[in-house]
Amino acid sequence: MSSIVPAEWAPHRALWLGFPSHADLWQSNLGPARDEVAALARALATVGGEHVRLFVHGREALADARARLGDVSGVELVPGSFGDIWLRDTGPLFTDGGKKAVSFRFNGWGGKYELEHDDTVARQLADLSASLLKSHDFVIEGGALDHDGFGTVLTTRQCLLNANRNTHKDLPWTEAIAESALRKSVGASRVLWLGDGLLNDHTDGHVDNLARFIAPGVVCCQQGTGDDDPNTAAYDAVAEALSGALDARGQPISVVRIPSPGLQHGADGEIVPASHMNFLIANKAVIVPTYGDDAVVDALRPHFPHHVVLGLPSRAILTGGGSFHCISQQVPA
């Protein structure tokens, strides 16, 4: 069995964060997305107790990041090459105090967004972290998995079993094969399977938008907000699927429900996959994306008594398809 991926609440020695760097991808949202990422980096360094390693592509982006954050203690600007900022998916998962890292084959979320350099990000971050990288020849994104640090992995069938990720001539990619792959790569001894993710989530249902471990044996998921919340059924299915479930220690899972952002539309009128589940658990703070309502901060605060819980806006980052968790990757201490 491979080394177990630590829980996100375990101490970090560094936190990687992607900085929006491509005007052709972000267009009119480039400046607002940079504003939001800069606010997140500043909060992580000043309140969250993190050494933030801001991964930046290109001279223009580096100059912009330096102007915004060059004077912030605890934020290090690191030049590199990437297609876009979703380091949770393109980067590696770190284990063993950051001495080791695990990566998977990356195919642009099922062939939807194949950008130059994204398939090299895992190697870059591992090398820059002085981590020994072990690569696996199957497709999994980091945001498709959530870990409790004891070998329990939370994931969704919609993503992990999707034929656009892994196909075999003679053998389908089944739950059993996926569980074997997770056992060999991230030390999973128990996999908790959920169903579908959020509506219009181009990741095909990443679990870090749906449900997250917040403590040993405790999973947080959302409660539908308003009669028109498009994901109420998906949220309720999470709670039902985990009812009576056991973790890798044989302990029962308890489920915490917090309010969702409710129905949210993009500038084009399309429903967007806004989620408070894309929060970051830093060394001293939990930073949760907000969409015009900070009630979620009060809902989360009792569950993180040893952390400061902050809400920061994430509407511009969401135009690219994700939020705070998606653009980050922690290196354990």
Residue 102, in any domain of the structure? yes
Q: Would you call 155 helix, strand, or coil by DSSP?
A: strand
Residue 1, in any domain of the structure? no
- Checking if the pLDDT of 172 tops 90, the result is no
Residue 271, in any domain of the structure? yes
Residue 183: burial class (beta carbons within 10 Å; 0-12, 13-18, 19+): middle
pLDDT, tens only, 75-107:
999 999 999 999 999 999 999 999 999 999 999
Q: Which of the four pLDDT bands, split at 50, 70 and 90, describes residue 51?
A: very high
- Checking if the pLDDT of 217 tops 70, the result is yes
Q: Over range 20-47, report the average pLDDT.
A: 97
Residue 240, in any domain of the structure? yes
- Checking if the pLDDT of 326 tops 90, the result is yes
Residue 201, in any domain of the structure? yes
Q: Over range 31-40, report the average pLDDT.
A: 98
Residue 230, in any domain of the structure? yes
- Checking if the pLDDT of 111 tops 70, the result is yes
- Checking if the pLDDT of 168 tops 80, the result is no
- Checking if the pLDDT of 1 tops 90, the result is no
Please write down the long-range contacts of 71-80, taking CB distance under 8 Å and 24 or more positions apart.
72/41, 72/42, 72/45, 72/46, 73/45, 73/46, 74/44, 74/45, 74/46, 74/50, 75/41, 75/42, 75/45, 76/51, 76/52, 78/53, 78/54, 78/128, 80/55, 80/56, 80/121, 80/124, 80/125, 80/128
Q: Which of the four pLDDT bands, split at 50, 70 and 90, describes residue 294?
A: confident
Domain count within the chain = 1
Residue 5, in any domain of the structure? no
Share of the chain above pLDDT 70, in %: 99
pLDDT, tens only, 244-259:
999 999 999 999 999 9
Q: Which of the four pLDDT bands, split at 50, 70 and 90, describes residue 313?
A: very high
Residue 70, in any domain of the structure? yes
Would you state the pLDDT for residue 89?
98
Q: What CATH number is given to the structural domain containing 87?
A: 3.75.10.10
State the catalytic residue, choosing from 159, 220, 221, 326: 326
- Checking if the pLDDT of 321 tops 80, the result is yes
Contact 76, 53 (CB under 8 A): yes
Would you state the pLDDT for residue 13?
97
Q: Which of the four pLDDT bands, split at 50, 70 and 90, describes residue 162?
A: very high
Q: Which of 182, 199, 200 is nearest to 191 (CA)?
A: 182
Q: Which domain holds residue 98?
A: 12-332
Predicted structure pTM score: 0.97
Would you state the pLDDT for residue 167?
78
For residue 128, what are the CA distances in angstroms to 55, 112, 183, 287?
A: 10, 28, 26, 25
The mean predicted confidence, pLDDT, of the chain is: 96
Asked about 326 being catalytic, the answer comes back as yes
Angle between helices 30-46 and 59-69 (to 10 degrees): 50
